[in-house]
Amino acid sequence: MIETNRLKIYAASKEQMETFIAAQSIDVLKAAYTEMLNGCLVHPDQWEWYAIWMIELKDGTHIGELCFKGINKSGSTEIGYGTDEEYRGRGYASEAVTAVSAWALEQNGINCVTAEVERENTASVRVLEKSGFELTGRIGEEGPIYRKEK
């Protein structure tokens, strides 16, 4: 578990992910979370790199999730994140992304964390900038690619 001043962030267990997936009403999210669970089951020794990470306030209130998308051969991992609408604009996403990307960069074999964001998603761009990510000049499937290195 990673703790910040206001948050608790942790990789969910199999049971927590199954419960979370079952509660999803948006098909695209249900499919994405199911893919994460399947990644965990295929790579149990790399659970944290495929799991849904829960973002909670210190009182246990669930406010969002984040994830990594595995580890590639060059030691890079991609992060994705989101907070529930009612908790946006309060710095929670920046706090979570900063803490978890710092944790990732401390792990053996990881030399950078990347993120893709749609250009129009100015709030997400701001999260990455506040969290120390820099624009790479490359474009991915979702938009510009940002990078944070050791």
- Domains of the chain plus CATH, in order, are 2-149 (3.40.630.30)
The tens digit of pLDDT for each residue in 1-40 reads 999 999 999 999 999 999 999 999 999 989 999 999 999 9
Cα gap 49→31, rounded to integer Å: 17
- Give 73's DSSP letter: T
For the chain, list residues with pLDDT below 50. Answer: none
pLDDT at 150: 87
pLDDT at 119: 87
- Count Cβ atoms below 10 Å from residue 11 Cβ, excluding itself: 21
Its pTM surpasses 0.85: yes
